[in-house]
A and B are shown apart, each in its own frame.
Chain A
Amino acid sequence: MALLEVKDLCVSYGAIQALHGISFHVEEGEVVTLIGANGAGKSTTLRAISALQIVDSGSITYKGVDITGKEPSDIVKMGLIHVPEGRRIFAPLTVRENLEMGAYTRTDRRAIRESMEHVFDLFPRLKERLEQTGGTLSGGEQQMLAVGRALMSDPKLLLMDEPSMGLAPILVEEIFDIIETISKQGVTILLVEQNAHMALSVAQRAYVLETGTIGLSGPAQELAENPRVREAYLGGH
């Protein structure tokens, strides 16, 4: 059984339909990427899964439970965490407080402290800036904080929306290294990216989203070599 199974998902904004019945799945332990051009519906898909967006029809099954129509807070409690586009950290709160907020749904203080240590291991830079407010961090640091905050809730499945957006190339490398590390530590990842090149290099499988429908899909390696994908998303090289 797949950890996450999306079937015939339709979402619309008013009269505009953004997703026309897409289906895909994510197996436990995988890194799966959803690539596609700007406006293809990638963020909409993630928002629908984490219940931030109302769906018209279709079903979303996570850990064998139909989670369509649940509250966002219920979904977080089930270990399905969304790292959104644009980071959405608490700008007025310090790094430490942001991380603590990530553990909002947890009660075991020792386990929370362990998660915090884990986050510091991954992002030593956050540890140096513990008392700095989130709003004063650089873009890369904010992205690290967003990922760190998500890890604080002990996720089983991470939905990551364009973690490389707006980052300098060196930071992009760093973020993708972190994604690989997190994945090796047993977290399943559904990664949305416009940076198809990097995304296909860390993922095992990939889906290509084209204006609300899934076009190609398959092993990431294969898609990376597919002429159509190379043409459209990898700059034709």
Chain B
Amino acid sequence: MAKFKKPSVYFVAGSLLIFLVIQGLISTGTLNDYWKGIIFWGGAITIVTLGLNLIYGFNGQFSLGQYGFYGIGAYGSAYVTYHWVRGDPAAMVVALFGSLLVIGLYAALAWGLRRFYGVTVKARFTFYLIITILGFWASVVVLVPLLGPMMWGFFAALPEAVAQPLVFFLALISGGMLAGITSFLFGLPVLELGSDYFGIATLGFTIIVKVLLDNTDTILPFPAMKGARGMLGIPRWTTWAWVFGTLFVVIVIMRNLLHSSVGRAIVSVREDERAAELVGIDVANAKILAFVLGSVFAGVAGGLRAHDITFLHPQSFHFIQSFNPLIIVVFGGLGSITGTVFTGFLWIVLLEGVLRLFLPSGYETWRFVIYPLILLMMMLLRPEGLFGTYELPFLRAAHVAKRQAIAQKPEEVPV
């Protein structure tokens, strides 16, 4: 991977300016809690959609799975902090160190499997599933008694002003890792399917997550999530600095990834999978990487959202919601980071913020008539999205832009 490039001065300065202006509006109370909530929500959705843009826009894998991973990240991180603030570090240890352990085991297994050719996808999936279960089981049995008290003692010794953000940070990372692990296990067998089937499978995945969230206290052993009744009592830790900081980091990670040779691989899989194979790109790896990283973004965004609204309900992760990031990414322009960020905020601010205020009460559901109308207009007037593949200069990478209409591809000849 290319080395981590320094963001250009203009980009950082511009970002800082935006951060300070909004922070100023919040600190002076110009933006009330309603608008603050809308902006934080916009930030979370933008991060989810950036993940989808990586998967769909840059790698060409149509996915409806984002809200499933968003839900996993939201519930996962909320479960960690819920118990932490109530004096129980076990969830934190399992989510954080258990995930790290499982990821370490994955790396070891991937290294081991490299020495054997011809291991079928089914067999590989089975191995990965087994070590996932073993890893989390070991973290419950061994790591919790071992690291729990140690971790608690360590944080107790820290001043509260340091401990609380650190706990939140670790919870967000945990939510992201849990989403990433799930997406890896799901993507490994499913990405082998053709693109259309992949879309259907991700839809199924989001539905399953919703069903499981409905039953967290019955089928799953997480009583504090309270199943279909909804989870209460999550600490309100999300601030504008957290939302903005996460968004900034996600943009920079995505930008640097896309500028690297890995990014080149990801994009050329979108352009022509067969051709990519012929020049030596590991197509399966490129797809899994994009899918997992996109899901990690969704998971982290879920954590931000959970710690802003402090209440989670499975209904928020209904598969229908998965169309939100899809609409935003198409609207903003597939393959444009700039477009996603702009449209993500615009979408939430206009439709959830402004329209809700202006539609007479009782008519809020009319938003769902207005959504498709806007989308229809968009498809007719500007099918490539608001931004097409335009990027701010800092984000632009020469090999990323999709310049030709699909129609210009040579007809499908088997290699």
- A100-155 residues at the B interface, CB under 8 angstroms: 100-102, 104-105, 133, 135-136, 142, 149, 153
How far does the alpha carbon of A43 sit from the alpha carbon of B404 in the complex, in Å? 29
- A58-114 residues at the B interface, CB under 8 angstroms: 68-73, 76-77, 81-82, 84-93, 97, 100-102, 104-105
- A34-68 residues at the B interface, CB under 8 angstroms: 43, 47, 50, 52, 68
How far does the alpha carbon of A81 sit from the alpha carbon of B268 in the complex, in Å? 18
Q: Tally of A-B residue pairs with Cβ under 8 A?
A: 97
List chain B residues, Cβ under 8 A from A90: 268, 271-272, 275
| Residue pair A104, B415 in contact (C-beta under 8 Å) | no
A92 shortest CB reach to chain B, Å: 4
List chain A residues, Cβ under 8 A from B272: 88, 90-91
A-B contact pairs, 26 of them (CB 8 A): A43-B414, A50-B278, A52-B415, A68-B117, A71-B282, A73-B277, A76-B279, A76-B280, A81-B278, A85-B415, A86-B410, A88-B272, A88-B278, A88-B415, A90-B271, A92-B404, A93-B271, A97-B398, A100-B399, A101-B268, A102-B279, A105-B280, A135-B404, A135-B410, A149-B279, A153-B279
List chain B residues, Cβ under 8 A from A91: 271-272, 404, 408-410
| Residue pair A84, B404 in contact (C-beta under 8 Å) | no
How far does the alpha carbon of A101 sit from the alpha carbon of B399 in the complex, in Å? 10
Given A85-B413, A87-B410, the answer on whether A76 and B271 have CB atoms closer than 8 Å is no
| Residue pair B415, A101 in contact (C-beta under 8 Å) | no
How far does the alpha carbon of A136 sit from the alpha carbon of B272 in the complex, in Å? 16
| Residue pair A92, B281 in contact (C-beta under 8 Å) | no
Given A89-B275, A91-B408, A149-B279, the answer on whether A133 and B415 have CB atoms closer than 8 Å is no
List chain A residues, Cβ under 8 A from B279: 76, 101-102, 104-105, 149, 153
- B333-362 residues at the A interface, CB under 8 angstroms: none
How far does the alpha carbon of A97 sit from the alpha carbon of B408 in the complex, in Å? 17
A24 shortest CB reach to chain B, Å: 21
B355 shortest CB reach to chain A, Å: 37
Is B396 interfacial (CB 8 A cutoff)?
Answer: no
User: B286's closest neighbor in chain A, by CB?
Assistant: A73
Given A72-B277, A88-B415, the answer on whether A93 and B399 have CB atoms closer than 8 Å is yes
How far does the alpha carbon of A89 sit from the alpha carbon of B409 in the complex, in Å? 9
List chain A residues, Cβ under 8 A from B32: none
Interface residues of chain B: helix, strand, loop or mixed (majority): loop
User: A81's closest neighbor in chain B, by CB?
Assistant: B278
User: B415's closest neighbor in chain A, by CB?
Assistant: A84
Interface size on A, residues (CB 8 A): 36
Is B179 interfacial (CB 8 A cutoff)?
Answer: no
Is B367 interfacial (CB 8 A cutoff)?
Answer: no
| Residue pair B261, A97 in contact (C-beta under 8 Å) | no
How far does the alpha carbon of A84 sit from the alpha carbon of B278 in the complex, in Å? 8
List chain A residues, Cβ under 8 A from B6: none
A45 shortest CB reach to chain B, Å: 13
How far does the alpha carbon of A92 sit from the alpha carbon of B274 in the complex, in Å? 14
